[in-house]
């Protein structure tokens, strides 16, 4: 059994849906369970319509919804030449559209969008596409049934720090196994899930990859395939480094590290469930299906140049706590973390100067101000006694991460990276090496991020 996931670009338009469905058709003997994302751009459009509803921009809201509706209508009209089939898919879509109208009326009246409403609003993209995909596969001659993942993937009540209930999810996945064995391909919505009480939650942006690995681990799949618009995991984001190269093999650890540090090709949480069951993950290109893709598994060849990929996260904020008097202030680092945890701020990166004069952390842009305020409050007494001089922040920064199993214990990686950035006059604001020694992270200003990625890619000859 294999779990096969298609991302937004792989189902973004009728020709793409045709391509993706044919790939599934070809592998029907392997009893696939298919996971599908919303059409590319639809989740964004839904959320924009939501924001417009909150701010009372009725026209914008209606335009966005119309745009989404016509994309689905167009797909239905182009894919189903048999009118009676098209009408029956339209009927299924109409029920979802009635719910969409109600939800948006509610948001417009309240002029507020809670996390719960946001999750519900963003769930419609996946829900609208699965009836089309399933019916199209059926028209090709392979029976398929759309499945709403809210019946399958169950999470904790809290959507901010959501945890998947693997035990319950595993039980519910049996339905998919039975279906696949009986010869029907389940077409499951990616990204969305629900609490035991039936409240809609999501796995976070880009979360359909995670859905695939959750289901893959629950059904003990032989392989989890992520079909996307690039031919695998690459040495860098090809939009930043055009000469980036596809990697044949990547280890679980490398993949986890690089997705955490911004490689959008995989949602950061995708790896864990696969590791637990030792299931290989294969990244494949929907539009070049014969390309071998990338195999992610426990082992990987270590590269001579030590570094395998360079990734970046932009739009983050650097917060620092500084002061010569910090020496001897007990547990500063501990208190910093307790404070961020209390405010539910996630810290992407952390470093402490050996002189104890300086603690820096990187947080998401939206958490920047709150982090500074909370830390100022926490260290009020120390600031008053001038033991801590200041808590400050710099916004618009980026983290550049060099990732590779080979970095471990190899001297000179940092020196070479700093060297090329220095020569290009790119200022380094902070550095950290993961304790796994699998990555080296460098903080620079956002304006320098692309250049830094390109220079490092070149310096480590990652294209070779």
Residues near ligand ASP, by CB under 6 A: 7-8, 37-38, 43, 125, 190-191, 205-208
228 binds ligand ADP (CB under 6 A): yes
CB of 338 to ligand ASP, least distance (A): 31
Q: Which is nearer to ligand ADP, 47 or 60 (CB)?
A: 47
100 binds, among ligand ASP, ligand ADP, Mg ion, none (CB under 5 to 8 A by kind): none
Which two three-digit tokens encode residue 370?
Answer: 């709150």
325 binds, among ligand ASP, ligand ADP, Mg ion, none (CB under 5 to 8 A by kind): none
39 binds, among Mg ion, ligand ADP, ligand ASP, none (CB under 5 to 8 A by kind): none
Cα separation values, 143 from 77, 84, 130, 134, Å: 20, 17, 14, 8
Which two three-digit tokens encode residue 352?
Answer: 């402490």
C-beta of residue 111 within 8 angstroms of C-beta of residue 50: no
Residue-level length of the chain: 464
236 binds ligand ADP (CB under 6 A): yes
11 binds ligand ADP (CB under 6 A): no
Per DSSP, 303 falls in state: P
CB of 9 to ligand ASP, least distance (A): 9
SS (H, E, C) 88-134: HHHHHHHHHHHHHHHHHHHHHHHCCCCHHHHHHHHHHHHHHHHHHHH
238 binds, among ligand ASP, ligand ADP, Mg ion, none (CB under 5 to 8 A by kind): ligand ADP
C-beta of residue 199 within 8 angstroms of C-beta of residue 155: no
289 binds ligand ADP (CB under 6 A): no
C-beta of residue 11 within 8 angstroms of C-beta of residue 23: no
CA Rg, the chain, in Å? 24
Q: Which of 206, 207, 216, 273 binds Mg ion (CB under 5 A)?
A: 206
Can you tell me whether residue 10 is helix, strand or coil? helix
The maximal CA–CA distance of the chain, rounded, in angstroms, is 79
Can you tell me whether residue 415 is helix, strand or coil? helix
107 binds, among ligand ADP, Mg ion, ligand ASP, none (CB under 5 to 8 A by kind): none
Q: Provide the β-strand partners of residue 297.
A: 251
Q: Which of 7, 14, 207, 273 binds ligand ADP (CB under 6 A)?
A: 7
Q: Which is nearer to ligand ASP, 190 or 406 (CB)?
A: 190
Residue 43 host element (H or E): helix 42-54
Q: Which of 263, 275, 359, 401 binds ligand ADP (CB under 6 A)?
A: 263
Q: Which is nearer to ligand ASP, 211 or 441 (CB)?
A: 211
Q: Which is nearer to Mg ion, 7 or 32 (CB)?
A: 7
125 binds Mg ion (CB under 5 A): no
C-beta of residue 260 within 8 angstroms of C-beta of residue 318: no
Footprint (CB under 6 A) of ligand ADP, residues 31-90:
37
263 binds, among Mg ion, ligand ADP, ligand ASP, none (CB under 5 to 8 A by kind): ligand ADP
Residue closest to ligand ASP, measured at CB: 208
233 binds, among ligand ASP, ligand ADP, Mg ion, none (CB under 5 to 8 A by kind): ligand ADP
Which range touches ligand ADP (CB under 6 A), out of 222-230, 334-342, 365-373, 387-395? 222-230
DSSP string, 418-439: HHHHHHTTPPP-EEEE-TTSSE
Phi, psi of 206 (to 5 degrees): 75, 15
323 binds ligand ADP (CB under 6 A): no
Q: Any residues with CB less than 8 A from the CB of 36 and at least 6 apart, and which?
A: 5, 6, 11, 20, 126, 129, 130, 133, 187, 188, 189, 190, 208
C-beta of residue 200 within 8 angstroms of C-beta of residue 120: yes
CB of 207 to ligand ASP, least distance (A): 5
Per-residue x/- mask for Mg ion, residues 5 to 34, rule CB under 5 A?
--x---------------------------
Which two three-digit tokens encode residue 304?
Answer: 């001579």
Q: Which is nearer to ligand ADP, 53 or 456 (CB)?
A: 456
Q: Which is nearer to Mg ion, 203 or 241 (CB)?
A: 203
Can you tell me whether residue 329 is helix, strand or coil? coil
265 binds ligand ADP (CB under 6 A): yes
CB of 305 to ligand ADP, least distance (A): 16
232 binds Mg ion (CB under 5 A): no
Residue 217 host element (H or E): helix 208-218
C-beta of residue 190 within 8 angstroms of C-beta of residue 227: no
Question: Where does this chain bind ligand ADP (CB under 6 A)?
Answer: 7-10, 37, 206, 228-230, 233-234, 236-239, 263-265, 309, 311
């Amino acid at each position: 059994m294999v779990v096969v996931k298609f991302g937004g670009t792989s189902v973004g338009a009728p020709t793409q849906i045709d391509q993706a469905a044919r790939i599934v058709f070809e592998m029907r003997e392997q009893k696939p369970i298919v996971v599908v994302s919303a059409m590319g751009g639809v989740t964004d459009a839904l959320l924009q319509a939501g924001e417009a509803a909150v701010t009372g921009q009725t026209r914008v809201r209606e335009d966005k919804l119309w745009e989404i509706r016509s994309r689905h209508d167009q797909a239905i009209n182009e894919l189903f030449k048999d009118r009676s089939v098209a009408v029956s898919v339209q009927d299924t879509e109409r029920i979802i559209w009635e719910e969409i109208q109600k939800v948006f009326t509610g948001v417009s009246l309240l002029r507020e969008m809670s996390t719960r409403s946001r999750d519900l609003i963003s769930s419609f993209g996946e829900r609208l596409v699965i009836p089309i995909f399933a019916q199209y596969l059926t028209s090709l001659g392979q029976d398929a049934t759309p499945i709403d993942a809210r019946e399958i993937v169950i999470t904790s009540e809290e959507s901010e720090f959501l945890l998947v209930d693997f035990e319950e999810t595993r039980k519910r996945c049996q339905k998919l196994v039975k279906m696949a064995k009986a010869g029907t391909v389940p077409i499951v919505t990616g990204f969305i899930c629900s609490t035991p009480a039936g409240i809609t939650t999501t796995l976070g942006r880009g979360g359909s990859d995670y859905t695939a690995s959750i289901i893959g681990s629950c059904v003990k799949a032989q392989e989890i395939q992520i079909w996307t618009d690039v031919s695998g995991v690459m040495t860098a984001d090809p939009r930043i480094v055009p000469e980036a190269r596809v990697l044949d093999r990547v280890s679980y650890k490398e993949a986890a590290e690089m997705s955490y540090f911004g490689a959008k090709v995989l949602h950061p949480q995708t790896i864990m469930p696969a590791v637990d069951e030792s299931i290989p993950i294969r990244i494949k290109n929907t539009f070049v299906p014969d390309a071998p893709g990338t195999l992610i598994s426990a082992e990987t060849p270590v590269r001579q140049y030590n570094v395998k990929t360079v990734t970046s996260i932009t739009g983050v904020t650097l917060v620092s706590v500084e002061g010569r008097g910090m020496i001897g202030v007990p547990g500063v680092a501990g208190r910093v973390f307790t404070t961020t945890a209390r405010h539910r701020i996630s810290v992407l990166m952390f470093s402490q100067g050996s002189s104890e004069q300086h603690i820096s952390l990187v947080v998401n842009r939206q958490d920047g101000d709150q982090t500074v305020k909370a830390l100022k409050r926490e260290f009020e007494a120390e600031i008053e006694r001038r033991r801590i001089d200041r808590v400050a922040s710099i916004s618009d920064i980026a983290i550049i991460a060099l990732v590779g199993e080979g970095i471990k214990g190899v001297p000179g990686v940092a020196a070479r990276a700093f060297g090329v950035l220095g020569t290009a006059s790119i200022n380094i604001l902070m550095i950290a090496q993961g304790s796994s020694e699998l990555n080296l992270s460098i903080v620079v200003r956002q304006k320098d991020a692309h250049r830094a990625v390109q220079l490092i890619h070149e310096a480590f000859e990652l294209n070779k």
